[in-house]
Structure 1
Amino acid sequence: MTVSGQHPTFADFRRQRARMVRRLEAQGIADESVLAAMRSVRRHCFVPEALQDRAYEEHPLPIGFGQTISQPYIVAYMSQLLEAKAGMTVLEIGTGSGYQTAVLREMGLDVCTVERVRELHFAARDLFAALGISGIRMRLGDGTLGWKEQSPFNRIIVTAGGPNLPLPLLEQLADPGIMVIPVGQTRREQKLLRIAKREGRVTARTLGNVAFVDLVGDHGW
């Protein structure tokens, strides 16, 4: 806890990050690569400066342009559901401020990320450079179309909710492969799905209710 009116220090943020990770462990996050990444990535750098003292709290925060940064548990949970190993290729739909992207990269994954909002795309690009985060391939465009030129992907993670599972993403998922995506017929209210592809067979598992910003594009809203 910081004194009102004082900006948190580096040590304050480090303590807050450590508390966040302990909370995630208590909530059932057990994948050590996920925990290590969230222990390392400075979440407060990915939210507006005025909200930095709330960066490690358990709720989403606005990042502008009608978009949000997901609460820490959702970031960790979706990352864990990927069951990803270092060196795998992952496609992220919805770069946003870049926090989920940075977590995936810190996990040792080869990350491709697509963002449709120009301002967020370039802000994330500049932030990665400022933080010394390299090895991320970025694209500005319609995320529901995926990134065919870079496919197939071992893993796909979608951080916005649409009415259906976009067919291009399913086609670009490797076999075997895993996709985690929120899908729902009502805007801002979805079911979190874990899609698995193996030997040409696709299965889906529903993992509870979530609320994400709209997945906008040819295969979204």
Structure 2
Amino acid sequence: MRKPVAPFPFASGTTNRFGRSSLGGGVSAANSNTRVFGPGNPASNAPLVGHHRSTTVNLGLNSERSRGMMIQRLRNQGIQDERVLDAMMAVPRHMFVDEGLASRAYEDAALPIGHSQTISQPWVVARMISAVCENRVPVKVLEVGAGCGYQAAVLAQFIKEVHAVERIRGLYELAREHLRAQKLIGRVRLTFGDGMAGLPGIAPFDAIVIAAAGIKIPQALLEQLAIGGRLIAPEGTTAQRLILIERTGAATWHREELESVRFVPLRPGTQS
């Protein structure tokens, strides 16, 4: 059983468990000690758009080098799981963002993808996947909040069976388009539906990654976690933290609080 870990002291100038400054390398929220991750606050994260089409072409020519720089930055920020780093090196993040934002694809920043949502910044994608895969190789993973499909694409690089649910029709179609372009439709099983309900007909899952924050983690998702499996999700309203949960028995779960974060709300139902 994993031992409880005390919440990190995000006082000014402190570091998290990876020795990474809580204030560096990202967009700050109103509280400068809280990291803003995507899907996050689009109003505060949204960059200017309208770059010329050649930006995408040039970035495509240099994307391997750009991804290499991103991977080195992730290493410096404490990400150590080589499976995750290799997966993020393999997935062209610039192909999952708007053409006008392609030149910023490999920055450590969340970028808007429409519908008041964002693609998560690289560090938080790596952090969440690393946490649920630590010392294990999950076979079947559920992602709640597929967004533009990037995180599902990363998971599919080394997870045998990836299921992703998206509740916003426009984003579901966008994710499907991106995953098809990367020839990942067969490896990622994408569903348009209510992520808070999960996929009970396919459960249990060895890992569940939730990309939106609820007041508390839905019991339906906890029940769909396999014994020994892990779930990671942001939890809270104004003040949010990443929560890592491991199912230890038929009716028991171990809970661990991680970094302070800021995500969009987890909502029920679907949106056409």
Q: In structure 1, what is the equivalent of residue 39 of structure 2?
A: none
Gaps of 5+ in 1: none
Which one of 27, 48, 65 corresponds to residue 15 of structure 1?
65
1:160 matches 2:212: yes
Greater Cα shift, 64-73 or 79-88: 79-88
Amino acid corresponding to residue 34 of structure 1 in structure 2: V
Q: Could you tell me how far apart the structure 2 residues matched to 1:129 and 1:216 are?
A: 26
Runs of 4+ deviating beyond 6 Å: none
Which one of 167, 170, 173 corresponds to residue 116 of structure 1?
167
Which one of 191, 209, 224 corresponds to residue 172 of structure 1?
224
* Per-residue Cα deviation, 1:182-203 (whole angstroms, up to 9, x for no partner): 00033xx411000011133211
Q: Could you tell me how far apart the structure 2 residues matched to 1:195 and 1:109 are?
A: 22
**Does the CA contact (< 8 Å) of 1:175 and 1:198 recur in 2?**
yes
Q: Could you tell me how far apart the structure 2 residues matched to 1:9 and 1:165 are?
A: 38
1:204 matches 2:264: no
**Does the CA contact (< 8 Å) of 1:191 and 1:207 recur in 2?**
yes
1:148 matches 2:200: yes
The verdict on how the C-alpha distance between 1:180 and 1:87 changes in structure 2, with shifts beyond 3 A counting, is closer
How many residues align? The count is 213
Q: Could you tell me how far apart the structure 2 residues matched to 1:179 and 1:145 are?
A: 15
Q: Could you tell me how far apart the structure 2 residues matched to 1:155 and 1:108 are?
A: 10
1:50 matches 2:117: no
Which one of 229, 233, 244 corresponds to residue 181 of structure 1?
233
* Per-residue Cα deviation, 1:147-187 (whole angstroms, up to 9, x for no partner): 1011000100001111111010001001011000100033x
* Per-residue Cα deviation, 1:113-170 (whole angstroms, up to 9, x for no partner): 1000001101211221122113211111110111101100010000111111101000
1:70 matches 2:70: no
Q: Which has the higher strand share?
A: 1
What secondary structure does 1:149 align onto? coil
Q: Could you tell me how far apart the structure 1 residues matched to 2:107 and 2:241 are?
A: 23
- More contact order relative to length (CA 8 Å, sep ≥ 6): 2
TM-score by length of 1: 0.92
Q: In structure 1, what is the equivalent of residue 245 of structure 2?
A: 195
Within-5 A mapping of 1:79-94: 79-83=129-133, 85-86=136-137, 88-94=139-145
Q: Which has the higher helix share?
A: 1
What secondary structure does 2:201 align onto? helix
Which one of 101, 125, 135 corresponds to residue 187 of structure 2?
135
Gaps of 5+ in 2: 1-50
What secondary structure does 1:103 align onto? helix
**Does the CA contact (< 8 Å) of 1:41 and 1:102 recur in 2?**
yes
User: Percent identity over the alignment?
Assistant: 41
Which of these two proteins has the greater Rg computed from alpha carbons? 2
Instruction: Tell me by how many angstroms 1:40 deviates.
Output: 0.5
Q: CA RMSD in A?
A: 1.5
Amino acid corresponding to residue 246 of structure 2 in structure 1: A
Q: In structure 1, what is the equivalent of residue 84 of structure 2?
A: 34
Q: Could you tell me how far apart the structure 2 residues matched to 1:109 and 1:34 are?
A: 14
**Does the CA contact (< 8 Å) of 1:96 and 1:115 recur in 2?**
yes
Greater Cα shift, 201-210 or 123-132: 123-132
